[in-house]
Homo-oligomer: A and B are copies of this chain.
């Protein structure tokens, strides 16, 4: 391809409204353009990347035995009413009416449609397992679309749905999908982790998320060098050692102007690990109280997903308002504590290992020091309620935890029979009895992979694509082409030869100065660059630059294709 026939849409300025690096670079490098909030047009350069990711996904899904289908984007409301999600799904579901005033939605996902297909087509256990997938445009009407295509409203997704006669078969396909996803993200050249995940609103038994590691990621993931990996939402914290014996008496002290844990630790000149924070949340209907006091070590963070699983806590988690707190405690949020709490106390389990700790006195401007369980207050109800932190032991004993940010690009679920039960997808089993099928679902945010790859692969000059998903493999930059017919001809010839050898080549035939060419090709992120000039032709050696390497090297012209092949493979 030649730039004269494949115009670039690079921008000099970084668009002001683009917050993260992938959004900035996709706009600057001319990969996408915004049409409206959360709606983007893929320009030719961007679409090449999207198609390469799509191609890898398709190959690996086919290799894993999944069957590609294409379901309508527009889905009738009746199916969503059957599954119960029409009312449940909320404002992210783009609902619409056709000319006859019938209800439809623009599908954000296709569990209902595929289960409807399977209940019609599949009659016998002999037809199972079966795994259907599609690569299709989805719509989720995000409240706050942002970060470009990272959290767009319309996006390209690979969604797969498998059906089984029993849980063993589901587990087997689930393992295959886990392996296929691993191959997909490896082939895309991404640094990623598969992590255990919460099954959340979609329900089901087991679930893994695939995260591309990048500092801009919205999720925190915990992993150990030896293989443990889980979303911090889900990673179990270690049991504490038993608390040491009390060392001091409990005492009430005045703590004027102390409202936060940091202020408290500073005021007392103690580490935050010795302080306790008390958070007041709404209670569930399981207990005879409106509010519950959750106590955590001062440096620990409440984990909402874990808290919501405790029977005392209302779901979704709701923090109490200041007025509710004052009514219950007669004190402000900065001075609360479990000693003499007027509401039930629920302690994070790490607190069971603490002694001589400091809590609020339930009296404005006062705290209690030297507090100990069993002496100053009863042993509390406790549970794992916090986020695991860096350096703690992994729950499987595989070493110390590291925390990294991740961008979720894939998610696999063992769904069970939630949809097949609701829609009545049954088959005859080996004994001729009707049985509800068991189901798995497996998603990849294909367009999001593109953005995530950029988050992980860029520098101050632009994108540094992994070769497998780059829009072009090699950029050809002729120097002095305007004046030199020899350079022009050599560039054209090299273009044709490299293309014939199977490389995706972009020849910059604009006749621009080297600086302009190099800046554009680096911004775009083409991973390999060849410079063609009189001097190189004279010497029989062309300058080759790996986009990530600090220095250029020189490759012999008469063996260029082999040399490039070697470098592209690496």
Point out residues on A near B: beta carbons under 8 Å. Answer: 5-7, 9, 33, 35-36, 39-44, 47, 50, 65, 67-76, 91-92, 94-96, 98-99, 104, 106, 113, 116-117, 120-121, 127, 130, 132, 136-137, 139, 141, 143, 153-154
In Å, the complex CA distance between A132 and B35 comes to 16
New contact pairs (13) apart from A33-B120, A35-B76, CB-CB < 8 Å: A5-B65, A7-B67, A33-B117, A35-B113, A39-B72, A39-B76, A41-B70, A42-B69, A42-B70, A44-B132, A47-B68, A95-B96, A136-B137
Chain B neighbourhood of A113, CB < 8 A: 35, 41
- A40–B72 touching, CB < 8 Å: yes
* Interface contact B35-A71, CB-CB below 8 Å: yes
Q: Which residue of B lies closest to A73 (CB)?
A: B137
Pairwise interchain contact A94-B94, C-beta atoms closer than 8 A: no
Smallest CB gap from A35: residue in B: B72
- Are B69's CB and A41's CB within 8 A? yes
Residues in chain B near residue A69, CB distance under 8 A:
41-44, 47
Chain B residues near A91: list those with CB within 8 A: 99
**B residues near A95, Cβ cutoff 8 Å:** 96
Central interface residue in A5, A42, A96, A120, by most chain B CB within 10 Å? A96
Contact residues in B for A92 (Cβ distance below 8 Å)? 99
Partner of A143, one of B35, B72, B75, B99: B99
A42 proximity list for chain B (CB < 8 A): 69-71
Q: What's the nearest-Cβ distance from chain B to residue A63, in Å?
A: 11
How many angstroms between the C-alpha atoms of A41 and B7 in the bound complex?
37
> What's the nearest-Cβ distance from chain B to residue A166, in Å?
19
CA distance A183 to B27 in the complex (A): 36
Of the candidates B7, B67, B74, B117, the one whose C-beta lies within 8 Å of that of A106 is: B74
Q: CB-nearest residue of chain B relative to A141?
A: B99
Cβ-closest chain B residue relative to A113: B35
Of the A-B pairs whose beta carbons lie under 8 Å apart in the complex, a sample of 30, sorted by A's number, is A5-B65, A6-B67, A9-B121, A33-B120, A35-B71, A35-B75, A35-B76, A36-B75, A36-B76, A39-B72, A39-B74, A40-B72, A41-B69, A41-B71, A41-B72, A42-B69, A42-B70, A44-B67, A44-B68, A44-B69, A47-B70, A50-B70, A73-B73, A73-B139, A74-B94, A74-B154, A92-B99, A94-B96, A98-B141, A99-B143
